[in-house]
Structure 1
Amino acid sequence: MNYMMVFFMLSGIIVFCSSRNHILLTLLSLEFMVLSVYLLLFLVMLIYGYELYFSLIFLVFSVCEGALGLSILVKLVRSHGDDYLSSVSILSW
C-alpha cells in the first residue's frame, strides 16, 4: 500500500514538472498530489489510532488552495484569453 502512495506522489510530481503549456494541467497535478498526501495521512492516522480531526483540517486547507488556484486561472483566462504559460509574462501582472 505504501508503494502505491509513493507511485501516486511521484506520478503527480512528474506531471507537475513536465506540464509546461497549460496552467490547468499544473493545477490538476497539484490537486492529485494533495489527494495522495491526504490518503496517506488518513491511512497513517487510521493505523495508529489517532483522531481524524487533523485530516479534516488538512482537507479544508487543500480545498482553499484549490479555490485560490482556480480563481487565479479564471483571472488569467479573462485577462489573456487562454491559459497557456507562453502568453503570460511576469511583467504583465
Structure 2
Amino acid sequence: MFTFMFISGLIVFFFKRKHFLLMLLSLEFIVLSLYINMFYYFSMNNFDFFFMMIFLTMSVCEGALGLSMLISMIRMHGNDYIMSLTFLW
C-alpha cells in the first residue's frame, strides 16, 4: 500500500508538471507516504525514532520553501502556471 501511495504521488507529479500548486501537493503526498513507510519500518524493527524528527523537519522546510516560491510567483506573474515564466522557454 505504501508503494502504491508513493507511485501515485509520482504519477501526479509527472502529469501535473505545468501547475505549481499541484506539484507541491504531490510532493507533500510523496513525503507523507515516505514518512508512513519509515514509521512502519522503524516500529517493526524497534529502532529509535530520532531520524523521523529530522525527516519531518526537512519536509517542513521543503514545504515552507515551496509555499514561499508559490507566493512570489503569484505576486510577480498573477498565476501559478510554470509555462508562463519567461526563463523556461
Residue 20 of structure 1: CA displacement? 3.2
Q: Which residue is equivalent to 2:76?
A: 79
> How many angstroms apart in 1 are the aligned matches of 2:31 and 2:3?
13
* Residue 3 (structure 2) aligns with: 6
How far off its partner does 1:86 sit? 2.0
**Aligned partner letter, 1:25:** L
TM-score, normalised relative to structure 1:
0.90
Alpha-carbon separation, structure 1, partners of 2:13 and 2:85 = 18
What is the identity, as a one-letter code, of the residue corresponding to 1:60?
Answer: T
Structure 1 unaligned blocks of 5 or more: none
Partner-residue secondary structure (3-state), 2:31: helix
Q: Which residue of 1 aligns with 2:61?
A: 64
- The 5 Å alignment of 1:30-49 reads 30-49=27-46
Give the superposition deviation at 1:90: 1.6
2-side partners of 1:87 and 1:17: how far apart? 18
Segment drifting more, 62-71 vs 80-89? 80-89
| Deviation, structure 1 residue 22 | 1.3
- Separation in 2 of the partners of 1:20 and 1:88? 13
**How many residues matched?**
88
> TM-score, normalised on structure 2?
0.94
Partner in structure 2 of residue 23 of structure 1: 20
- Residue 46 of structure 1 aligns to which amino acid in structure 2? S
Equivalent residues in 2 for 1:44-55 (5 A)? 44-55=41-52
Deviating above 2 A after TM superposition, structure 1's stretches of 4 or more consecutive aligned residues are none
* Aligned Cα root-mean-square deviation (Å): 1.0
Give the Cα separation in 2 of the matches to 1:90 and 1:47. 47
